[in-house]
Amino acid sequence: MTAVVRIEKLTKEYRLESVTVRALRSVSLAVEQGEFVALMGPSGSGKSTLLNQLGCLDRPTSGRYILANEDVSRIDDDRLSEIRSKYLGFIFQSYNLLPQYTVVENIEVPLLYQGCRLNDKTRQRCVQLAQLVGLGDRLDHRPMQLSGGQQQRVAIARSLVNDPHVILADEPTGNLDSRTSDEVMQMLTKLNDAGKTIIMVTHENDIAAWAKRIIRMRDGQIETDEQNVRAKVRHEMAGEFSASLSSLLAEAIR
């Protein structure tokens, strides 16, 4: 198997006046297609910094990052955003939805960033993604009119619109109660079953328990990296999610 993401001796320093924070210290990591990784570790250990690097949201101070066989540590900004929208999907703790947009419009946003022209076909796909995450009856609602779990499901649908190779999630259940967290994790597990590589930051052991590999960070370095042979048993999800996921993912918009 080939690594879908590979970082080599990646360092990230933040310089603030006279102080330099070494947020990542020569971190090397390879993640293969189909893995489900939980990144854990104490506050300030560098989890979000690492995820931002993997997401091409920030540049390293030194080291290399190979994403889908391309060295992205040194490419220009235009190519970087192209790669980002082609290969990566993002899910954040605070959902990051646009408040003035409806559910369907929020799912369309990555297509706009990609310079894609919206038409009936793209609209249809976004409606199907909304239905996939169980929001078929909320298409015209705005984020304020949705529960936290529903908002995160919009974010999951949005992360899928480009059929990304890798989904990066920073504390995706951080704002949710345990029942709703479970629903979100079941959804991510199904996506992983459908072949999506997932890298997720979490503080909670209960949430990390769903992942197949658990990496713990400390002081900007990887402390432990273990397979989780007892990854949580996947329950059968009700509704249309499982049935329509694969076919929907197969008809990506390019």
Tell me, rounded to whole angstroms, the distance of Cα 151 from its chain centroid.
15
23 binds, among ligand ATP, Mg ion, none (CB under 5 to 8 A by kind): ligand ATP
16 binds, among Mg ion, ligand ATP, none (CB under 5 to 8 A by kind): ligand ATP
43 binds, among Mg ion, ligand ATP, none (CB under 5 to 8 A by kind): ligand ATP
Nearer Cβ to Mg ion, position 2 or 43?
43
Number of residues that bind ligand ATP (CB under 6 A): 12
45 binds, among ligand ATP, Mg ion, none (CB under 5 to 8 A by kind): ligand ATP
Which tokens is 227 given? 């397979």
* Beta partners for residue 91, in sequence order: 169
Shortest CB 10 distance to ligand ATP, Å: 13
Shortest CB 44 distance to ligand ATP, Å: 4
* Beta partners for residue 26, in sequence order: none
46 sits near ligand ATP (criterion: CB under 6 A):
yes
Nearer Cβ to ligand ATP, position 93 or 197?
93
State the residue number with the nearest CB to Mg ion: 48
Cβ–Cβ < 8 Å for 123, 108: yes
Q: How far is CA 111 from CA 78, 121, 128, 131, 245, in A?
A: 15, 12, 15, 18, 19
Which tokens is 198 given? 């997932």
Q: Which residues from 10-69 bind Mg ion, rule CB under 5 A?
A: 48
C-alpha neighbours within 13 Å on the C-beta side of residue 87: 19
Q: Is the dihedral of CA 110, 113, 116, 120 positive or negative?
A: positive
102 binds, among ligand ATP, Mg ion, none (CB under 5 to 8 A by kind): none
Please provide the size of the chain in residues.
254
Helical (H) or strand (E) element with 132: helix 120-132
Residue of 1, 17, 18, 43 that binds ligand ATP (CB under 6 A): 43
Residue 192 DSSP SS3: helix
14 sits near ligand ATP (criterion: CB under 6 A):
yes
Which tokens is 114 given? 């990609």
Shortest CB 92 distance to ligand ATP, Å: 12
47 sits near ligand ATP (criterion: CB under 6 A):
yes
* Footprint on this chain of ligand ATP (rule: CB under 6 A): 14, 16, 21, 23, 41, 43-49
